Structure 1
Amino acid sequence: MTVDRAKLAVLIVAYRNPGDVDRCLKSLAQSSWKDFEVFVCENGGREVFERLQTVVAGSGGALHQIADNADALDKPAGRLVEVVKCRFRGLGNVVRLGLAADNLGYGGGVNAWLERLLGGPGWDAVLVLNPDTEVDGDCLSELMAKAAEGFGMIGGTLVFDDAPDKVINYGLHWSRLTGRVVAVGRNSPAGSAPSVELLANIDAVSGACVLVTRAFVEEVGLMAEDYFLYIEDLDWGRRRGKHRIGFAAKAVIRHIGGTAIGSAVDPGKRSHLSVYLSARNGILYARRFAGWRWVCHFAVGLLFAARYLLNGSPRAAKVALAGLLDGVKGKTGPPDVALGLQDHGS
């Protein structure tokens, strides 16, 4: 049976970080916007999926498991091999935990639920949310209000978890000249009003917290999956066509960042996985959207690889170079096992 959905579907892609998911869910439970349901995709395998259930639906967790599976979305289908249905403690909002058939990457994890939602009635928007975030009480309400003004892709004020008075970004800007992705408004004081000129530079909303309307998804399409991780948010914004980007200043999101790839252990260091994918995907994106300028972007990437070497990180420099070359070759998806990117740090 298919039933009407809540107006807002919140999509969370997890990878072996159940504590983050529980923390994020607990913040969602405090939302002033009540008409939402949550869909979690665990990319980390069955053992971690069982651990996720224990953490979020066990003693002290945000949820409790329920046996009702009358809705079509309660059953495994597509790329989700198991679905566990839950509700928030003390609330009626449904949360579905889905186990991915494989590590689908970020875009694939989003799409595993989104492609199923597209066939059903009722929902007006989806909020893609990193598990290592917490939303303020009025965040969902502010984002939905902005969507009601006719914007198709909406972001809020993303702040550092350990320094909530500083902005991570208001959105992302891509330089056609250098290929670098700039965090618009980074380190601005939280609560300050960004200028119209600053907001006009935004090309996409960070995938850490981005709301898109149903019309956006139906007309623009799903998230790109072949990047695996990083740049898929910029790609989505690039393809937005007539859909305008909106900014909800009072929608505040605290973000740790890097918990699934190791960077959060030492924020001063980038994981090798992050270095590789950033380099590779920057070239993939440039080859799609920058025409011949991708050659210039490759040259800039070489300079950044050299900087790792000069800073005493030869391994990071080697990984960055491998990423650049794989981007030229058009390699997509997860990195080759031979690259040995299971270790983190630089």
Structure 2
Amino acid sequence: MSTANIKLAVIIVSYCNAEDVDRCLKSLARSDWNHLEVFICENGGEAAYRGLLAALVGPDRTLQRSSDASDTLDQPQKRLAAVAKCRFQDRTNAVRVGLAVENLGYGGGVNTWLEPLLAVPGWGAVLVLNPDTEVDSRSLSELIAKSAEGFGMVGGSLVFDNTPDKIINYGLHWSRMTGRVVAVGRNAPIGSAPSVEDLGRIDAVSGACVLVTRAFVEDVGLMAEDYFLYMEDLDWGRRRGKHRIGFASKAIIRHIGGTTIGSAVAPEKRSHLSIYLSARNGILYARRFAGWRWICHFGVGLLFAARYMLKGSVPAAKVAFLGLLDGAKGKTGRPDAMPGAQELG
């Protein structure tokens, strides 16, 4: 299958992190793939949206405003209060910056653009990309080439910015027995590829950088939104049905990680919001996909909560326990009524 004419839609969800978005866009501007358009959803409110445009658009910035706004995607959508159509300074590719009507979470931010895209012909794949990532110049073409081999969900060599010689994971595996999420291939050398056995264990590609084909989206549907943050990538992969997961080892993506809510640190130093959502959503996911075993997963979660206490972080242990309880109660969405929820605006 030829990939030459595949049009790629790149979706980035922002939350008050304009500097990350700008760095990510600069890397996309260096890509060897020409057939792409970028769609940004700012979840942080009007002030964050204005700040994002100020950081991105201008004579000495990464983007310039486009005078043509005749496309339906250039207009506010049902969950986008405003849309600014732009383009790269040195490329004609469109970059649309949208303001979400409220903080929709990660899955909701992705779907805010993905849903209207389903009604638009022409594009063949979508790349969901964290704002705190940078793609190598060949990454997009490598991901698309792998998808053309018959893979509906494709990942690349995701590496931490400070250890670019080691892979964060080939993909994610969810243990049906314990409910823990395992990073398959953690710390494997850059340039390596998963074995057949490892590839068979992968349940999903990390949402930090995941390419899915249009056929995948049309068959599987949109990202789950009720997790708000964490586990939506595993949920998407779990629902993939006939669509196979592939890995493009030459697609290099640098990932800083956790810049928005403080998850890219040692477990005992993570933000309470990150701890809560991880605990709650692990149980929500288990209730959907593990049947009665979710009760066992709850027990394992209690052990992890106790670990925080043993490390001297009693508040973190309490937050983890609260997350487990709320997951058992089936609570979903934005956690407005917990300590630290103000971080979400």
Normalised to the residue count of structure 1, the TM-score between the two structures is 0.95
- With over 3 angstroms needed to count, the CA separation of the structure-2 counterparts of 1:311 and 1:59, relative to structure 1, is farther
In the alignment, the residues of structure 2 paired with residue 288 and residue 267 of structure 1 have an alpha-carbon distance, to the nearest angstrom, of 26
1:182 maps to a residue whose letter is: V
- With over 3 angstroms needed to count, the CA separation of the structure-2 counterparts of 1:278 and 1:267, relative to structure 1, is closer
Query: Contact conserved, 1:259 with 1:265, CA < 8 A, in 2?
Result: no
- What pairs up with 1:3-42 in 2 under 5 angstroms? 7-42=7-42
Aligned to 1:135: 135
- What pairs up with 1:5-154 in 2 under 5 angstroms? 7-154=7-154
Aligned to 2:335: 335
- What pairs up with 1:1-346 in 2 under 5 angstroms? 7-264=7-264, 269-342=269-342
In the alignment, the residues of structure 2 paired with residue 74 and residue 209 of structure 1 have an alpha-carbon distance, to the nearest angstrom, of 25
2:144 maps to a residue whose letter is: M
1:79 to partner: Cα distance: 0.1
Query: Contact conserved, 2:14 with 2:40, CA < 8 A, in 1?
Result: yes
Deviation >6 Å, runs of 4+: 265-268
Query: Contact conserved, 2:75 with 2:83, CA < 8 A, in 1?
Result: yes
- With over 3 angstroms needed to count, the CA separation of the structure-2 counterparts of 1:302 and 1:133, relative to structure 1, is same
1:58 maps to a residue whose letter is: G
Query: Contact conserved, 1:226 with 1:333, CA < 8 A, in 2?
Result: yes
Query: Contact conserved, 1:27 with 1:137, CA < 8 A, in 2?
Result: yes
1:234 to partner: Cα distance: 0.0
1:263 to partner: Cα distance: 3.8
- With over 3 angstroms needed to count, the CA separation of the structure-2 counterparts of 1:265 and 1:17, relative to structure 1, is farther
| Cα RMSD for the two superposed structures | 1.6
Secondary structure of the 2:108 match is helix
Query: Contact conserved, 2:227 with 2:281, CA < 8 A, in 1?
Result: yes
1:198 to partner: Cα distance: 1.5
In the alignment, the residues of structure 2 paired with residue 194 and residue 77 of structure 1 have an alpha-carbon distance, to the nearest angstrom, of 40
Instruction: State how many pairs are aligned.
Output: 340
In the alignment, the residues of structure 2 paired with residue 317 and residue 89 of structure 1 have an alpha-carbon distance, to the nearest angstrom, of 48
Q: Percent identity?
A: 72
1:59 to partner: Cα distance: 5.0
1:289-317 deviations in Å (ceiling 9; x for gaps): 00010000000000000000001111110
In the alignment, the residues of structure 1 paired with residue 20 and residue 343 of structure 2 have an alpha-carbon distance, to the nearest angstrom, of 21
Which deviates more, 24-33 or 186-195? 186-195
Secondary structure of the 1:137 match is coil
Query: Contact conserved, 1:128 with 1:211, CA < 8 A, in 2?
Result: yes
Query: Contact conserved, 2:268 with 2:311, CA < 8 A, in 1?
Result: no
Secondary structure of the 1:216 match is helix
Normalised to the residue count of structure 2, the TM-score between the two structures is 0.95
Query: Contact conserved, 2:193 with 2:247, CA < 8 A, in 1?
Result: no
1:148-202 deviations in Å (ceiling 9; x for gaps): 1111000001000111011111100000000000111111121223322122210
1:320 maps to a residue whose letter is: A
Query: Contact conserved, 1:167 with 1:185, CA < 8 A, in 2?
Result: yes
2:226 maps to a residue whose letter is: D
Query: Contact conserved, 1:135 with 1:253, CA < 8 A, in 2?
Result: yes
In the alignment, the residues of structure 2 paired with residue 52 and residue 199 of structure 1 have an alpha-carbon distance, to the nearest angstrom, of 38
1:269 to partner: Cα distance: 2.4
- With over 3 angstroms needed to count, the CA separation of the structure-2 counterparts of 1:267 and 1:22, relative to structure 1, is farther
- With over 3 angstroms needed to count, the CA separation of the structure-2 counterparts of 1:233 and 1:151, relative to structure 1, is same
Secondary structure of the 2:178 match is coil
1:256 maps to a residue whose letter is: I
Which consecutive residues of structure 2, in runs of 5 or more, have no partner in the other structure?
A: none
Secondary structure of the 1:258 match is coil
Secondary structure of the 1:260 match is coil
